[in-house]
A and B are shown apart, each in its own frame.
Chain A
Amino acid sequence: MAKKPKISTSKPDKKKVKKPAGIGLFYILSLFIIAGFFSVGSAVALALGMMPTYVLFAQKKTPLSRMRSQVVGLSNLAGVLPFVERLWDGQNISMELGSPLPWVIMYGAAALGYVLLYVGPMMAAISLQVMAGERIKKIARHRQKLIDEWGPEVAFREAKSTESPKS
């Protein structure tokens, strides 16, 4: 029998929600401090450019919200990093962050993260639906094989489970 794909239909376990919420914040602060050592501008760019991510981090922590934060955060970071690198190289902060383009790029990257959060589950749902269809076909074949071997009786529900108490 082919290995059955694990399709979890249950909601994420509430126990997993209770992870320490300060770890993400700890990473971010560490990032600021490291960046601040090299360049104050870089730290400022990080602090302001990563604002959409902070908003998500500030929300209640669940495994899904953490993943959402990761997606948006990584995407947001991809938009912020080029500017951090320029400021690191000694560029003037007002020159670099004074025009709207850097903000469009940084927040656009965050927006891309949100788009991914919308598109990802859709694509996953489509692929899971396809896999479930395949699995249903396999189940039907297996069921038919059992019926062929044991007769249609094997597929009948037991009397006590189908009959009403009155009957």
Chain B
Amino acid sequence: MAENIAKSAFNTRYSLDQATPLPEFDTAGGCAFKVVDAHAKDSALYGLVQKPEVPIRNSLYKSLVEKPIRNIISPIDRGIMTMPEGQRLVTVFERPTGGVFFGPDGVNPLVNVGRLRTNILTSALGGLAELHSRNHTHRLIRPSSVFFASPGSDEIILGECITAPPGSGQSLRGEAMECVFADDITRGNATEEADIYQLGFVLISGFFGENLDVSLDRDAILAGRVNQSSFWALSGGQDVPGALGKVLQGMLVDEPSERWNLADILDWLEGSTSQRRTGLVNRSLSKPTHFMGVAYIDRRLLAEAFALNVSEAARYLKEKKFGQWVQSNLRDEVLDDRMEKALGILGADNLGVSSVSDDQLIARICMFLHPDGPIRFKGYSIMPDSISAFVASAFASGSGDNIQAVHELIRPDLLSALVEISDKNNPALTKAVQNLSKEMALIKDRTLGKGAERVLYSLNPQIPCMSSKFNGQWIGSLKQLVHGFDREAPNGRLASLITDRHIAAFCAVHAGDMDKDFYLLSHTQKDPVRFSFQMAQFFGVLQNRTKIPALPKLTSALVESMKPALKLLKKVSRREKITKLLDSVKKDGNIAKLTSVVDLVEIQQQDAREFSAARRQIQLLEKERESLGRKITHRHPAALLKGYQLSAIFAASICLLSLAMIVI
């Protein structure tokens, strides 16, 4: 009820004008529309209609809604709205009115070097400094989502970064090198340095007066950035003169450890120059490797090529004899037994025969070549801290192959081998694998409430329930789920809802500690009485946990589902009494009361016991009636006994009478 009120309050206050789309505020998470606030009609707002399959950055949302950051578009509120395609989560943001830094045409005549330095850079740094101090990264700073605060203002506002996974929607040129090899949706939170790179990209775009987000071939962009370094690739070999050139070079350094940080930039703004050295990290091969007609000199690019051509790469490495290839092509690399085992080539005659599949083998080799890079597996490229986003996108695609890839990826043997291969060069991977220990056990378990679906919601608690049974409804919390059950209850689909794998997994994650309930539900499905009672108990627990006072439709449906079980009760009076009891509870809508008052399983057991006793009693009565039905003659032993007793009394009376007469 509280949720309904909140929802209706949100809907009452904010109205989404779907006729006025605001594409400049669109993100990978959804489309933006103008929003009118009934309490402040003059305020400039927009609402982003969330795509259900795209996970939002919930902790960042909470942080920003609680304490907005001046130079970052911050959310005001969010709630469920009904759209033509169904219920959707709508997040309302304050809308900067000064226009976008770079419009769709990619040109912005307003920018000049002075403004870049004095206004744009300082206001962006202010926003980022505050964000980083809260242990969050922005990860979506791009020329097309940087806005001027108001018309004529030099202050800029960075676009919002909560409605899509980090880095999702960022161009290949605009993404920091440490994340650029990952797929769009799985680039990960990265570090503060990645934000600095993205800000540098915005500034260099501003300096040249054009949006450098031009779409080129992926391989060409990556090769350009790797071979020339990002700064020179972006500038097209053209130097940026003066002090601005210095800071841009520092911000666009490809190695995160060598890139300027906020402190360096602030120092630069105050006139001092950073003493950071660059070019310390070497990622090149000692000699070019020719693979599929291309000569590779950089380990990262070779890993990328291997990952995109798994079977060819496996064949290539087998032909080349991996151990020998490593000795000749990589500097300072020695393959010991431990590493060979982790790579899956120990005892395999240098890849003549490998103990693992080609996909796993190439994933391991790619990690060996690019230890701080993404996990490259089955054509996916995933930063370790965004495995959750990978799982979400796999389920959102609905493709069996993608979901199978999730099953194959979240396995202890592969992930621990990758950790070992990365050899402390990828702390994010080590941490991610440690955090996935629970999920690795869950994914193998096919029981209700577990499996890959449980992993999906466990890793993405902010994602709404993806069950097709709730098509068009936004089920993002346990309360919404329970209300969803209440809405669907009159359709008579409760049993199918409760045994749906997505719904069960969502419920298990959001309700917590319900494994026993799911076990009982799945094991009582063939027994209608126990199942209906178990179902009522399950919903009773949910009602208690969500503290929703009344669920009339759900209670009514549960009562109706229990009534067929009542027909199995033998005792007529008990059946009538329980029916009356159920009807009275139905009116309250209190499921917990329903289960506490009517323990159907116990009642049924008691009924069966008493019925058995009654049947025995009837059998005894019939036996007795049968024996009594026979004619009793004077020769019947009982008649003889009683008759003789009677006669003896009579004879004794005569004898006493005779004696009395003598005495008298």
Contacts and interface: CB of A to CB of B under 8 A. Distances in A.
Interface of A: 7-12, 63-64, 67-68, 70-75, 77-79, 81-82, 85, 109, 112-113, 116-125, 127-129, 132, 135-136, 139-140, 142-143, 146-151, 153-155, 157-158
B611 interface: yes
Nearest to B662: A85
B637 A128 contact: no
A74 B628 contact: no
A59 to B, nearest CB: 14
Interface of B is mostly: helix
B437 interface: no
Contacts of A82: 658, 661-662
A128 B636 CA distance: 10
B659 to A, nearest CB: 6
12 contacts: A7-B628, A67-B641, A67-B647, A118-B634, A120-B650, A121-B636, A125-B634, A125-B636, A125-B639, A136-B629, A139-B624, A146-B614
B135 interface: no
Given A81-B662, A129-B632, A146-B614, A71 B641 contact: no
B41 to A, nearest CB: 70
Nearest to A121: B643
Interface in B185-243: none
A113 B624 contact: no
Contacts of A125: 632-634, 636, 639, 643
A30 B156 CA distance: 139
A71 B654 CA distance: 10
B644 A117 contact: yes
Contacts of A71: 644, 647-648, 650-651
B633 to A, nearest CB: 6
B570 interface: yes
A149 B618 contact: no
Contacts of A135: 624, 628
Given A136-B628, A143-B622, 20 more contacts: A7-B628, A7-B638, A9-B636, A12-B641, A64-B641, A71-B648, A71-B650, A71-B651, A78-B651, A78-B654, A116-B647, A116-B651, A121-B635, A124-B640, A128-B638, A128-B642, A132-B632, A139-B625, A140-B625, A155-B618
A57 to B, nearest CB: 15
Contacts of A77: 655, 658
Contacts of A146: 614, 617-618
A112 B659 CA distance: 17
A150 B611 contact: yes
A120 B646 contact: yes
Nearest to B658: A78
Contacts of B618: 143, 146-147, 154-155
A122 B643 CA distance: 7
B572 A148 contact: yes
B356 interface: no
Nearest to A11: B637
Contact of B644 (A11, A64, A73, A79): A64
A124 B643 contact: yes
B628 A132 contact: yes
Nearest to A114: B647
B607 to A, nearest CB: 9
Nearest to B610: A150
A19 to B, nearest CB: 16
A13 B202 CA distance: 115
A46 to B, nearest CB: 14
B519 to A, nearest CB: 34
A158 B615 CA distance: 9
B264 to A, nearest CB: 89
A11 to B, nearest CB: 5
Interface in B597-635: 611, 614-615, 617-619, 621-622, 624-625, 627-629, 631-635
B638 A67 contact: no
Interface string B110-149: 0000000000000000000000000000000000000000
B411 interface: no
Contacts of B573: 149
Interface in B558-594: 570-573
Contact of A123 (B611, B631, B643, B661): B643
A121 B645 CA distance: 9
A91 to B, nearest CB: 13
Nearest to A85: B662
Given A124-B634, A128-B642, A78 B621 contact: no
